[in-house]
Amino acid sequence: MENTAKSLSGLKKEDFQKVIQGKQTDLYFLRNSSGMEVAVTNYGGSLVAIMVPDRNGNYANVIQGHDNIDDCINSPEPFLSTLVGRYGNRICHGKFTLNGKEYSLAVNNGPNHLHGGPTGFHARVWDAEQVNDHTLVLRYVSAYYEEGFPGELSMTVMYSLTEDNELKIDYKGTTNKKTIVNMTSHGFFSLAGIGNPTPTCEDVICQINADFYVPIDENSIPTGEILKVKGTPFDFTTPHRVGDHLTDFSDKQIKNGTGYDHCFVLNKHEPGELTFAAKIVEPKSGRSMEVYTTEPGVQFYSDNWADGYKGQHGATFGKHSALCFEAQHFPDSPNRAYFPPVVLKPGQVYTQKTIYKFGVEN
């Protein structure tokens, strides 16, 4: 029996155990020999703790989450550090056409469909198999027409923690009918460590390996353009403070996103290659995180809507207290023929690999 009394995060398995949708929820711990700890619940595949040291060796949880299953279910932020699917990000008016047939999805974000809908993958109990002390495999079969999507989709997500302090997320999916898939992990990262209150991320130094980004309209739907970042608040090709332009609402794109909530077009030599996407460094603690992904884009979100709601162990999560790097295909791709395709056909396998690598800098 796993001894979780000594969990670095102070989280307890029994606080995450409940029968929901006829399935048992639980908490799983991944650990490596250097002392890093990751805690995951199979409710929505939510990452509830990532314990990493600062430059002085002090451990803190650097991802926002809750400390019990009921708070996860009832979170003011339903996508708080969860898996997201079938379709991450927005689809305009919740409608798309496939094989000449129009499909209608839930509209749960203004006039748009967001993150798979209110009962998407974030709100489902996944079948969990802890392979060893550093690997967890989650499986879920999304029924035909679940949340309006065509086809039955069988999805497997594997979390693995390496000896290099990398959290790897591998996705694999198959379908019996043509459908659309765009999964992601919606981690809300707070490298200073969560607390009461959790510090803002304005001083975090950010780099994003993207010469182009996807501009949005006032409803956060892509305009259809793909624009250069050079000379705009979206130029993170060289590292600088997140706060430098975060509230520069004279910029129409910052205004439309109420901060950063945009898909960056990652620099790639060829589609599907695993490449460097982004890096952040929290100057006070020295903690760093690098992102690598096979996906063509990363949605950079500066936590613009948090209002100080309560999280784990009395922590509070205010506006701009987290940064999200959601590796994914572009928003509204089903309605944009020239965006990288998100259609999955029978016989094909959907795959994605994203890595979050943690470190410290002096």
Catalytic residue annotation: 186, 326
Phi, psi dihedrals of residue 69, rounded to the nearest 5°:
-65, -35
CB < 8 Å & 24+ apart, contacts of 106-109: 106/147, 106/148, 109/220
| Number of Cβ within a 10 Å radius of residue 287 | 25
**Listed residue (28, 150, 167) closest to 86, CA to CA:** 150
Q: In the block, which residue shows the tokens 């991802």?
A: 63
Please give the biggest Cα pair distance in the chain: 59
CB 303 within 8 A of CB 319: yes
Q: Name the CA radius of gyration of the chain, rounded.
A: 19
Cβ atoms of 211 and 195 within 8 Å: the answer is: no
Task: Provide the 3-class DSSP secondary structure of residue 257.
Answer: helix
